[in-house]
Structure 1
Amino acid sequence: MIESDHPTQRLTGKVIVVTGAARGQGAAEAAALTRAGAQVVATDVRPEGDCRRLDVTSESDWAELAADLRKTYGHVHGLVNNAGVIQRDRLGAVRPEDFAHVHAVNATGPLLGIQHLAPLMPPGSSIVNVGSSAALTGYYPVAYTASKWALRGVSKVAAMELGPRGIRVNTVHPGYIETEMTAAATPAFRETTIRETPLGRSGTVDDIAPLVVFLLSDESAFITGAEIPVDGGFTAHGGVKSISDAMRPGTPDTQDAP
Structure 2
Amino acid sequence: MGKLEKKIALITGAGSGIGKASAKKFADEGALVVVQDFNKASAEEVSSSLSGSGHFALGGDVSNEQEMEDVFSEVEKRCERLDVLVNNAGVSGSPEGLGSITYDSFMRMLAVNMGGTFICTQAALPLMNSGGSIVNLSSIAGLAGWGPVHYASAKGAILGFTRASARELGGLGIRINAVAPGVVETPMTEDLDEALLAPLIMMSPLGRIGQADEIAAAILYLACDDSSFVTGQWISPNGGLVTI
Q: Same fold (TM over 0.5)?
A: yes
Query: What's the offset of the Cα at 1:124?
Result: 3.9
CA deviations over 1:211-248 (Å, ceiling 9, x no partner)? 111111111110001111100111116xxxxxxxxxxx
Query: What's the offset of the Cα at 1:187?
Result: 1.4
* 1:55 match: 61
* 2:51 match: none
Letter of the aligned partner of 2:14 in structure 1?
A: A
1:96 paired to 2:103: yes
CA distance in 1, matches of 2:147, 2:66: 33
Residue of structure 1 aligned with 2:126, choices 113, 119, 131: 119
Residue of structure 2 aligned with 1:68, choices 47, 68, 74: 74
Residue of structure 1 aligned with 2:21, choices 25, 28, 36: 28
Residue of structure 2 aligned with 1:38, choices 19, 31, 36: 31
Query: What's the offset of the Cα at 1:210?
Result: 1.2
Task: Among all aligned residue pairs of Structure 1 and Structure 2, give the percentage whose two residues are the same amino acid.
Answer: 37
* 1:234 match: 241
- Which structure 2 residues correspond to residues 1-258 of structure 1 after superposition, within 5 A? 8-47=1-40, 48=42, 49=45, 50=47, 51-87=57-93, 88-236=95-243
Aligned length: 230
Letter of the aligned partner of 1:36 in structure 2?
A: E
Query: What's the offset of the Cα at 1:206?
Result: 1.3
Task: Kindly indicate whether the alpha-carbon contact (under 8 Å) linking 2:218 and 2:235 is maintained by their aligned counterparts in 1.
Answer: no
Q: After TM superposition, where is structure 1 displaced by more than 6 Å over at least 4 residues in a row? A: none
Task: Kindly indicate whether the alpha-carbon contact (under 8 Å) linking 1:174 and 1:230 is maintained by their aligned counterparts in 2.
Answer: yes
Task: Kindly indicate whether the alpha-carbon contact (under 8 Å) linking 2:58 and 2:71 is maintained by their aligned counterparts in 1.
Answer: no
Query: What's the offset of the Cα at 1:123?
Result: 3.7
CA deviations over 1:51-85 (Å, ceiling 9, x no partner)? 31021001111111221222211110010000110
CA distance in 2, matches of 1:54, 1:29: 19
Query: What's the offset of the Cα at 1:140?
Result: 3.7
- TM-score normalised over the length of structure 1: 0.86
Task: Kindly indicate whether the alpha-carbon contact (under 8 Å) linking 2:138 and 2:179 is maintained by their aligned counterparts in 1.
Answer: yes
Query: What's the offset of the Cα at 1:138?
Result: 2.1
Task: Kindly indicate whether the alpha-carbon contact (under 8 Å) linking 1:36 and 1:213 is maintained by their aligned counterparts in 2.
Answer: no
CA distance in 2, matches of 1:39, 1:121: 15
Bigger mean CA deviation after superposition, 119-128 or 39-48: 119-128
Q: What is the RMSD computed on CA atoms of the aligned residues? A: 1.1
CA distance in 2, matches of 1:42, 1:109: 16
Give the gaps of 5 or more residues in structure 2: 48-56
